[in-house]
A and B are shown apart, each in its own frame.
Chain A
Amino acid sequence: MAKVLLVAEHDGDTLNPSTAKCARCAADIESAEIHVAVFAEEPSAVAAQAAALDGVAKVLTVANAANARPLAAVMAPQLVELAADYDYVLGPSTTFGKDLMPRVAALLGVNQISDIMSVEGPLTFKRPIYAGNAIVTVTAPADSKLVATVRTASYSAVASGDSAPVESVDVEAEIPGHTRFVELQTGSSDRPDLQTAARVVSGGRALASSENFDIIYKLADTMGAGVGASRAAVDAGYVPNEMQVGQTGKIIAPDLYLAIGISGAIQHLTGIKDAGTIVAINKDEEAPIFEVADIGLVGDLFNVVPELTEALS
């Protein structure tokens, strides 16, 4: 049996879907027994959501006021202590997991495999390098714990069903005081979360201003879609950074992706290549986005987008 520990990502109340995607990856490990660790100030709500995930055999909760925010320096020593009983320790390849897991790996004295996109064997995995321009097969040594992050866009979330047992555990780890949370600024939005939305509408530099992005929001709201943007649109200040889709932003895999006024730089395409259907609307028929789009429309977005919104209303 392979004992797998997943680190739950959450905001204190709600389990992030990245955890259900990690569970899908973990289930690909031969004869895996999957446990989820929840670090929180008050973990019960999140633990109940984790316990319901298909394939999860047990949830461990570590309640501590210091765990109110996911600070890597605070969580890592606690996770290392729990890791003693496990063969695999997995986290999502989101900013949360990318921050935490290498710290855990180093404390355990092992290397980390980043961004698992498929499980090829008990210790063999595929992962992207060079911004996804190459896929490498990596094998870890048999005699040490395996620490890895899971590329969430490569996996769908497992369903929720029967509840696994939840066990509260105490850890002895010394928690450092050298790292302190100050604040989190979030773009408050009622729209579906970009990383998990089934439909996403993204705008690029061609929108030309923050105000013009309104037509993107209107279309997205008509479709019940999340809203993203290219790096160019973010760098130009039209929208906040958390909306960036691409290699250096969010890597997403919606069923339907609309790229509007986005030329299709490699770094953007890296972020969307797992999307189900890609629609591109651009006035430049030579734009590279059309090489990957399933449906392309050459036209002026300022005419096409309102017309499409109208047609879908």
Chain B
Amino acid sequence: MEKILVGLKRVVDYNVRVRVKSDGSGVETDGVKMSINPFDEIALEEALRIRERGEAAEVIVISMGSSDAQQQLRTGLAMGADRAILVETPEGIDPLSRARALLKIIERESPDLVLLGKQAIDDDNNQTGQMLAALWGRPQATFASKIGTAGDTATVTREVDAGLETIEIDLPAVITTDLRLNEPRYVKLPDIMKAKKKPLDTLSVEDLSIDPAPVLEETAYAPPEQRARGIMVDDVAGLVAALKDKGLI
């Protein structure tokens, strides 16, 4: 295949314990470490491996958000992507608008495969890939844990509740990645230097004729209810007694 398009979302790093602001107006993101969404990093790693097997010629990374997302795109270029596209959008653009913007990029670039993370770890929506596949009228293979390509088709093993489902899809298509697909590579210093010279184009949502205003209104944020700390028992007899006490055995 010719081109693989990979989405990279800038999100709060997965190691950060996110807290709700005391006035309930949002979550605290000031001064917090930002990273590539981990599922997207897996998507990029897979695209690079497909290219390294000689089954694809070019890997393009794309991000949507503020100009700060250039950082994540540069990291993607350092991992090995060939070029990058940043679509500058206001904060809070919803998945349907993201999918519409991605479709416009697809019309320009004609990729054979679009690889996205199954969900972003900030809004946890798990929607963009499926929405893009719908708007594009192409197959989707979500929650991929194994991907094989052969000519115009891909065979994808998906992590589903019942076990592992394998489907065959015609390309072009959208595949979203799950955790066990691969382990992303580390970026080396010389690659970071090289990445600075790779092309990074910037577009605005207006260039793509997309209305970025969110449709769903988020009115309040609250911390989750906490479970209270319970009791400690000394031994199995104590545990059995405590379970009996609660009427559980």
Q: Which residues of A contact B (CB under 8 A)?
A: 11, 71-73, 76, 94-96, 98-107, 109-115, 124, 128-141, 176, 178-187, 195, 223, 231, 234-235, 240-242, 248, 250, 255-256, 266, 273, 277-279, 281, 290-299, 304, 307-308, 311-312
Give every chain A residue within 8 A of B95 (Cβ-Cβ): 102, 111-112
Known contacts A71-B167, A178-B169, A296 near B96 by CB under 8 Å: no
Give every chain A residue within 8 A of B128 (Cβ-Cβ): 102
Give every chain A residue within 8 A of B150 (Cβ-Cβ): none
Pick the contact of A178 from B129, B138, B248 — CB < 8 Å?
Answer: B138
For the complex, is B56 an interface residue (Cβ under 8 Å from A)?
A: no
17 additional A-B pairs beyond A107-B134, A185-B165, beta carbons within 8 Å, are A98-B130, A102-B130, A114-B124, A130-B121, A131-B18, A133-B224, A134-B221, A137-B222, A138-B219, A140-B217, A182-B155, A182-B166, A186-B162, A242-B159, A278-B230, A294-B227, A307-B236
For the complex, is B2 an interface residue (Cβ under 8 Å from A)?
A: no
Known contacts A137-B220, A140-B216, A291 near B229 by CB under 8 Å: yes
Contact B124 A128 (CB under 8 A): yes
Contact B162 A242 (CB under 8 A): yes
For the complex, is B189 an interface residue (Cβ under 8 Å from A)?
A: no
Contact B243 A133 (CB under 8 A): no
Contact A184 B164 (CB under 8 A): yes
Give the shortest distance, in Å, between B233 (CB) and chain A (any CB): 5
Give the shortest distance, in Å, between B171 (CB) and chain A (any CB): 9
Give the shortest distance, in Å, between B156 (CB) and chain A (any CB): 9
Contact A139 B216 (CB under 8 A): yes
Dominant secondary structure at the A interface? mixed
Give the CA-CA distance A256 to B230 in the complex, in Å.
14
Residues B83-131 near A (CB distance < 8 A): 94-96, 99, 121-131
Q: B223 — nearest CB in chain A belongs to which residue?
A: A134
Pick the contact of B163 from A137, A180, A240, A307 — CB < 8 Å?
Answer: A240
Contact A235 B180 (CB under 8 A): yes
Q: A250 — nearest CB in chain B belongs to which residue?
A: B161
Give every chain B residue within 8 A of A107 (Cβ-Cβ): 134
Give the CA-CA distance A104 to B173 in the complex, in Å.
17
Give every chain A residue within 8 A of B229 (Cβ-Cβ): 290-293
Q: A114 — nearest CB in chain B belongs to which residue?
A: B125
Pick the contact of B127 from A114, A133, A178, A195 — CB < 8 Å?
Answer: A114
Give the CA-CA distance A215 to B234 in the complex, in Å.
21
Q: A269 — nearest CB in chain B belongs to which residue?
A: B227
For the complex, is B242 an interface residue (Cβ under 8 Å from A)?
A: yes
Give the CA-CA distance A106 to B231 in the complex, in Å.
48
Give the shortest distance, in Å, between B31 (CB) and chain A (any CB): 16
Give every chain A residue within 8 A of B240 (Cβ-Cβ): 308, 311-312
Give the shortest distance, in Å, between A262 (CB) and chain B (any CB): 15
Contact B161 A96 (CB under 8 A): yes
Contact A129 B123 (CB under 8 A): yes
Contact B223 A136 (CB under 8 A): no
Contact B235 A299 (CB under 8 A): yes
16 contacts between A and B (CB under 8 A): A95-B158, A98-B126, A99-B130, A106-B96, A109-B96, A111-B94, A114-B126, A134-B19, A134-B222, A135-B221, A137-B220, A141-B215, A184-B165, A240-B164, A241-B180, A297-B238
Give the shortest distance, in Å, between B138 (CB) and chain A (any CB): 7
Q: A266 — nearest CB in chain B belongs to which residue?
A: B17
Give every chain A residue within 8 A of B46 (Cβ-Cβ): none
Give the CA-CA distance A97 to B246 in the complex, in Å.
35
Pick the contact of A241 from B123, B159, B223 — CB < 8 Å?
Answer: B159
Give the shortest distance, in Å, between A199 (CB) and chain B (any CB): 8
Give the CA-CA distance A277 to B137 in the complex, in Å.
46
Contact B160 A96 (CB under 8 A): yes
Give every chain A residue within 8 A of B248 (Cβ-Cβ): 255-256, 277
Give every chain A residue within 8 A of B130 (Cβ-Cβ): 72, 98-103, 106
Give the shortest distance, in Å, between B16 (CB) and chain A (any CB): 9
Give every chain A residue within 8 A of B218 (Cβ-Cβ): 136-138
Give every chain A residue within 8 A of B236 (Cβ-Cβ): 297, 304, 307-308, 311
Contact A295 B242 (CB under 8 A): yes
Residues B129-148 near A (CB distance < 8 A): 129-135, 137-143, 145
Give the CA-CA distance A180 to B95 in the complex, in Å.
26
Give the CA-CA distance A139 to B80 in the complex, in Å.
41
Q: A125 — nearest CB in chain B belongs to which residue?
A: B216
Give the shortest distance, in Å, between B184 (CB) and chain A (any CB): 14
Contact A296 B231 (CB under 8 A): yes
Contact A134 B18 (CB under 8 A): yes
Contact B161 A94 (CB under 8 A): yes
Give every chain B residue within 8 A of A95 (Cβ-Cβ): 142-143, 158-161
Give the CA-CA distance A103 to B165 in the complex, in Å.
19
Give every chain A residue within 8 A of B134 (Cβ-Cβ): 76, 102-104, 106-107
Contact B230 A293 (CB under 8 A): yes
Give the shortest distance, in Å, between A252 (CB) and chain B (any CB): 11
For the complex, is B57 an interface residue (Cβ under 8 Å from A)?
A: no
Give every chain A residue within 8 A of B138 (Cβ-Cβ): 178
Pick the contact of B223 from A101, A133, A281 — CB < 8 Å?
Answer: A133
Contact A294 B230 (CB under 8 A): yes
